[in-house]
Chain A
Amino acid sequence: MTSPAPLVAIRDLTAGYGGLTVLDNLSLDIAPGEFVAIVGPNGHGKSTLLKTISGLVSASRGSIKLAGVDITHKRPDRIVAAGIVHVPQGDLLFADMTVLENLLMGAYLPQAAAEARHRLEEVFALLPKLRDRQGQIASTLSGGERRMTGIGRGLMTGGKVLMLDEPSLGLAPILIDQIYELIDRLKASGRTIVLVEENAARIFERADRVCLLDNGRFVWSGGGAELMRRPELLETYLGG
């Protein structure tokens, strides 16, 4: 897993809010095409990690490199332009815009705008419900539709790395199945994916690697199947 140069290299990352430290000296390498899952108890930094990578939260120490280029203290819009797409927790849709406008907003960057029409068709193919709902105002969508719009919007941006923050949050199981089907297809197409999930069960067979984040530190990392065989870890950190 470590022979090709890592696409994303995180070293000694420390970050937090105000005086409170949330991420404590984290290091992580992500290879191109790898599917990494970040799991762990709530409130321990999973979302913060993604936000620090995408630039919404500034790191107080450490470094983040994308394909060798240091992006640690760059502005979020520069980091997106460099190729990291962050689909945030809670969707954060543009409430007064339609589904279509939200999706097109995903292709705001010039390099994405050039491919917009093409990508839109791809997104509609992956998420047919969105094509039906494209004229609908985002604030009137159901939970599952919002989630799909959020993910679709992220796909419109393109990018080398796709980061998803709890895509199954608050959804009914049948919708979660659909989301994970989509994730499977994205992985199959060779995308590098970083997934934060509390619902660890579905991760184990899918992820190439699972990293357990507790109190701002990685306490364990390895294959999903391995984790299944360590009930004490599951017990302590993931509530069995």
Chain B
Amino acid sequence: MSSHERHSSGLALRLYLIASGVTAVAAVGVAVRRSPAGREPPPAPLAVQLVAAPGEPIRAEAQVFRTTPAMLAIEPKARRERSAHPRTLSTVRFLRAYPGAPPRIPHPLTADEFRTDACKTCHERGGFSLRFSAYVPLTPHPERGICLQCHVGVDSVIGAAVPDPNPNARCPQCHGPSGGTPRPEARVTWPTTAWPQLPRLTPDRDPPPIPHDLQFRENCLTCHAGPAAVLEIRTTHPERANCRQCHVRLDPAAGNFTRPVNDVAVGAGDAP
């Protein structure tokens, strides 16, 4: 624990696609960097870093998408580059009013999509979206009926008759017309509770517990695996699909279990 050594290793990253049930495997190097113990954790991304550079093929994902040529809004051969705008923890936080809040919709919607609640066309099955040059994040609760009941967008980018062909059309929504860091007025300024902290991943540690609520997010792999998963929280072992076999949610109210040696209240008249 007190070691300062740098610890790197290549791990096999397996990808698991829930929608098709197809599992494809490819070796993707993962560098794990241990932080000095007890210090402020290094800034995100913390532990897992994909070796695949932007623009480089991810062979595993190419395999996966070859099997589903009929997917709507998705390029069958899958452009084999990373998303133009890979999702990170900071984008995750940017889109949520508080930890656990339903995220806002970060992209424009056509009027038809807005009216008919067409989100699941893409977000139930995933894949690569040409329209946004990005892998589509999956919803962990595709069984829910009306997406727009909880997820809302921004009025100014809703209602075009046809999708904007420019993949960068959505950038100003967060970054403003001249780019740069997200505009302050686009940020949720509401004071809220702290975000769950990331576990420091090391091979000799126990499986970390689950740091967030599971309500409507019981399917771990939708967010923690696959090409659209947020970089910092992508699991190294998606093939072990029963996540909660090792990772548990702790009851915040529970203390440590102890018992006095001489507990007179129990068994006091029971002695033979």
Whether A associates with B in a native complex is no
